[in-house]
């Protein structure tokens, strides 16, 4: 088991009062498996992903990764976890604006201590971004940016990739192409994938599909 969520709950305190978003989530993800996470807007998909990625911590419950409870880690431990064990792809602002594409791609790999030139070259080739290496993020289109973000994530060879609507800002055909590349690359890297998506068509392309509703996995 690569990742297990045990009875995880999370709430936000807002001006209107307490807002229970996740109410006892139980969820498992095997190594190399790809899972689509669907649900209505506001159902807590992003929240769940952030908890799994060690970006935020739950109110109660355990998040087990390789036997360790991420939820119990302190700030330093969670940062370490993000560096070494997960790769994140978001809807936007994935790239570091001050670094060019080449530096962005190797950034996470270097931080994780897994920089591998050969693998990086292969990724760049398969993503079709060789021509963009010396450009800066603001000089790229949305689809190009997301391809670079995927390259950046996979270059670090994380066992787990978390993606939050990575193609939400792209048109359908570009989005499909990007997802296609991402799926095949995660498979060949042997990484597990948990991807939030609104599109059942995209969800179809993954191994499994879970639905979030009323704060529970159904």
Partner 1 sequence: MLWTAATALLSHWRRRPLQLATLVLGLSLATALWSGVQAINAEARASYARASSVLDQKELTQLVPRRGDSIPQGTYTKLRRAGWNVSPVIEGDHRIGNTRVRLIGIDPLTMPAKAGGFKTGDTSNLTAFMSQPGVLIVSQGTALKLKGHTQMQLQISPDMPDGAAFTDIGIAESVLKRRGELSRLLVAVEQRPDLPSLGTIAPEIARKEPGDRPDVAQLTDSFHLNLTAFGFLAFVVGLFIVYATVGLAFEQRRATFRTLRSLGLPLSSLTLLLVTELLVLAFVAGVVGVVIGYVVASLLLPDVAATLQGLYGASVPSSLSIRPSWWATGLAMAIAGTIVSSAESLWRVRSMPLLTAAQPRAWLRATTVGIRVQLAVGLLLLIMSGALATFGHGLMVGFAVLGCLLLGAALMLPGVLSACLAVLQKRSSRALVTWFWADTRQQLPGLSLALMALLLALAANVGVGTMVSSFRLTFIGWLDQRLAAELYVMARDESEASRLRAWLPARSTSVLPIWSVAGEVLGDRLEIFGAAADDPTYRDNWPLLSGTVDVWDRIAAGRGVLVNEQFWRRKALGIGTGLVLPGGWEVPIVGVYSDYGNPKGQVIVGIDALAAHYPHVSKLRYGVRVPPADAAGLKERLTSEFGLPAENVIDQTTLKRQSRAVFDRTFVVTGALNAFTLGVAGFAMFSSLLTLSGIRLPQLAPVWAMGIRRRDLALLEVLRTLALWLATFIAAVPVGLALAWVLLSIVNVEAFGWRLPMRIFPMDWLILAIVALAAAIVSIFVPLRRLATIAPSDLLRVFANER
Ligand X SMILES: Nc1ncnc2c1ncn2[C@@H]1O[C@H](COP(=O)(O)OP(=O)(O)OP(=O)(O)O)[C@@H](O)[C@H]1O
Instruction: Confirm or reject binding of residue 45 to ligand X (CB under 6 A).
Output: yes
Extract the tokens encoding 44. 């807590």
Pairing of strands 3-14, 17-29: antiparallel
Residue 11 binds partner 1 (CB under 8 A): no
Instruction: Supply the DSSP symbol for 54.
Output: T
Q: Which of 38, 8, 42 is nearest to 22 (CA)?
A: 8
Least distance from C-beta 186 to partner 1, angstroms? 18
Shortest Å, Cβ 92 to Mg ion: 12
Judged by CB, which is closer to partner 1: 106, or 144? 106
Q: Which is nearer to ligand X, 22 or 86 (CB)?
A: 22
Tell me how far apart the alpha carbons of residues 39 and 48 are, in angstroms, rounded to a whole number. 11
Distance CA(3)–CA(19), nearest Å, equals 26
Is residue 108 part of the contact set for partner 1 (CB under 8 A)?
yes
Q: Which of 55, 64, 183, 205 binds partner 1 (CB under 8 A)?
A: 55
- Report CA-CA distances (Å) from 48 to 7, 15, 54, 91, 180: 12, 22, 10, 15, 24
What is the contact surface with Mg ion in residues (CB under 5 A)?
A: 46
CA distance 148 to 20: 35
- The listed partner (Mg ion, ligand X, partner 1, none) that binds 92, CB under 5 to 8 Å by sort, is partner 1
Contacting ligand X (CB under 6 A), which of 2, 5, 8, 21?
A: 21
Q: 1, 19, 79, 131: which one contacts ligand X (CB under 6 A)?
A: 19
- Figure out which of the listed residues 34, 38, 43, 186 binds ligand X, where binding follows CB under 6 A: 43
Return the SS3 of 13. Answer: strand
| Residue of 34, 46, 104, 167 that binds ligand X (CB under 6 A) | 46
Q: Does 176 bind partner 1 (CB under 8 A)?
A: no
Residue 34 CB coordination number (10 Å): 21
Q: Which residues of this protein are in contact with ligand X, per CB under 6 A? A: 12, 14, 19, 21, 39, 41-47
């Amino acid at each position: 088991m690569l990742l297990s969520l045990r009875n995880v709950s999370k709430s936000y305190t807002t001006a209107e009062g307490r807002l229970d978003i996740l109410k006892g989530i139980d969820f498992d993800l095997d190594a190399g498996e790809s899972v689509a996470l669907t649900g209505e807007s506001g159902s807590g998909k992003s929240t769940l992903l952030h908890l799994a990625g060690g970006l935020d911590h739950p109110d109660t419950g355990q998040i087990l990764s390789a036997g360790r409870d991420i939820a119990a880690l302190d700030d330093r431990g969670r940062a370490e976890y993000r560096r070494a064990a997960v790769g994140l792809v978001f809807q936007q602002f994935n790239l570091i604006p001050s670094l060019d594409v080449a530096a962005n791609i190797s950034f996470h790999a270097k931080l994780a201590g897994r920089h591998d030139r050969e693998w990086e070259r292969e990724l760049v080739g398969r993503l079709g971004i060789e021509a963009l290496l010396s450009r800066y993020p603001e000089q790229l289109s949305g689809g190009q940016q997301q391809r670079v973000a995927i390259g950046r994530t996979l270059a670090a060879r994380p066992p787990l990739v978390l993606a939050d609507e990575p193609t939400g800002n792209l048109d359908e055909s570009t989005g499909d192409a990007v997802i296609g590349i991402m799926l095949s690359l995660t498979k060949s890297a042997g990484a597990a994938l948990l991807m939030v998506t609104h599109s059942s068509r995209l969800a179809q392309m993954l191994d499994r599909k879970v639905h979030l509703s009323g704060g529970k996995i159904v």
